Amino acid sequence: MVTILVIEPEQAPVTREVVAELRALQAVVGGYLEAVPLAPGIALWCNEERNLHGLRPNRLLPEIGDIIYGTFIIARTGSDGNWVSLTDKDVTHYSRKFRNRGSSH
């Protein structure tokens, strides 16, 4: 099990424990995963078909100059490429970054 941050449209970020496997993370975002790197070892993972299935707008992400649609997660990967738990510092930082609906500040 790993700790991730889940950000749903119009909701505050929440931490969740999930099995550290692809299918479990795909289930959270509702489809195939696309990674948007945020920091070394940390990425935003969203539905790669986010603009095709009528998903609701979630947050503006200036890093890519686009809006992320649908539920997305923030997850950490280890040096071996496997998912590992976010640290308490990660959770605090990204909860603040994505706390406002439609904002990434």
Specify the pairing of strand 57-61 against strand 42-47.
unpaired
Mention every residue, 6+ apart, whose C-beta is less than 8 A from residue 82. 20
Looking at the domain assignment, is residue 54 inside a domain?
yes
Looking at the domain assignment, is residue 21 inside a domain?
yes
pTM: 0.87
Q: Within the chain, how many helices (H) and strands (E) appear? A: 2, 8
Q: Alpha-carbon Rg of the chain, whole angstroms?
A: 12
pLDDT at residue 60, as a whole number:
85
pLDDT band (50, 70, 90) for residue 105: very low
Q: 64 lies in which domain range?
A: 2-97
Residue with tokens 């931490």: 15
* Residue 92 pLDDT exceeds 50: yes
Q: Count the domains in the chain.
A: 1
Proportion of the chain in helix, strand, coil states, percent, rounded to 5: 15, 40, 45
pLDDT at residue 91, as a whole number:
96
pLDDT at residue 103, as a whole number:
45
